[in-house]
Amino acid sequence: MKEIKFLLTDKQYSKLEKWHRRCNIDVGAIGGRKTYEITPTGLGIIFKVKCACGKELDLTDTNIW
């Protein structure tokens, strides 16, 4: 089996955790609260997180582009 892994920087992870704590939506026992959208491009990786409440967070690190 082959794997593809994407890593968050410490700054991105901190921003995600802070954003996640602000939403108190309950989606049940199986999760599904957040959807991670990862799009590799020629310049870098676009990384977005969508919450079940409808909010979206862009974690793309454009400093490396």
Between CA 16 and CA 22 the distance in angstroms is 10
Amino acid (one-letter) located at 21: R
Q: What is the pLDDT of residue 52?
A: 83
DSSP state of 51: E
Work out the percent of the chain whose per-residue pLDDT is above 90. Answer: 37
pLDDT at 21 over 90: no
Does residue 30 surpass a pLDDT of 70? no
| Residue 24 binned pLDDT confidence (cut-offs 50, 70, 90) | low
Residue with tokens 């969508």: 50
Determine the average pLDDT of the residues in 15-31: 75
Domain borders along the chain are 32-65
The dihedral of CA 21, 23, 26, 27: what is its sign? negative
pLDDT confidence band for 56 (50 / 70 / 90): very high
Question: How far apart (Å, rounded) are the C-alpha atoms in residues 57 and 13?
Answer: 12
